[in-house]
Amino acid sequence: MNCLSAIFKYMLYLLNLVFVAGGILLIVVGSIMLSTMGNFTAFDGGVNTQTIPICIIVIGCVTFVVAFFGCCGTIRENACCTTIYAICMLILFGLQLALSIWIFAANDKFLSSMGKAVDKAWDENNAAQGYPMDALQLAFTCCGNTGYEQYETVPSSCCGYKDRNKVCEAAIYSQRPGCRQEFVDFWASNTDLIRWSSLIIALFELGIFIMSCCLASAMRKR
């Protein structure tokens, strides 16, 4: 293996270690998003609020597995494994780029649909529906759709109490913002992070694909 191939090999190995860490980070971020939303994901508001966090977790798992095996294939100098790894990276690049473009193109529409999900939760906030606003108010430390003034009797969840029989103090709920804006802001900040990081990761994956192809070709010529 010549000097250039050796450089590609160790660069690829180091980049794979970064992607292993990146895969773990995506899994953690997706899990935190799901955890933050709490039981609100169980409410059928016409929008599946779990979709993006689950996609992030799945991409994180796939990235971790592919990068881990890429490390093994690269360090063992196996041309077949490196070629398969390059193909996997090309597929990941396509998926990551598609996700990034979709988030850029549909961001406003997606945020609008998140706001409508809260509107529907507010409209159907009754015992028959299981009081969906309670889950939202507990998860996002908010009160009401646009504010606590919408309630005739402010529920205990506006003060962070899970027991609906508890009395919510005005000193607490009067300081809490409306849930619609909080929920939309939550998704706005996260989608900004996701779309830019997805684009950067996709460019890295393209670079890794090119290096993997060069390295596999050098391995076959030995």
Give pLDDT tens digits for 32-67.
877 766 555 545 444 556 777 788 888 888 888 888
Per-residue pLDDT of the chain (222 residues; tens, 9 = 90+): 566 667 777 777 787 787 778 788 888 878 887 776 655 554 544 455 677 778 888 888 888 888 877 777 777 777 777 788 888 888 888 888 887 888 788 888 888 888 888 898 899 888 888 888 998 898 889 999 999 999 989 999 999 998 888 999 999 999 999 999 999 998 888 888 777 877 887 888 888 888 888 777 777 766
Tokens for 90? 């090309």
Instruction: Determine what percent of the chain falls in helix, strand and coil, rounding each to the nearest 5.
Output: 80, 0, 20
Other Cβ atoms less than 10 A from the Cβ of 185: the count is 14
- The C-alpha angle 218, 220, 222, rounded to 5 degrees, equals 75
pTM reported for the whole predicted model: 0.67
Residue 191: the pLDDT is 81
Q: Domain map of the chain by residue range?
A: 3-221
Q: Are 13 and 71 in contact (CB under 8 A)?
A: yes
Q: Are 102 and 52 in contact (CB under 8 A)?
A: no
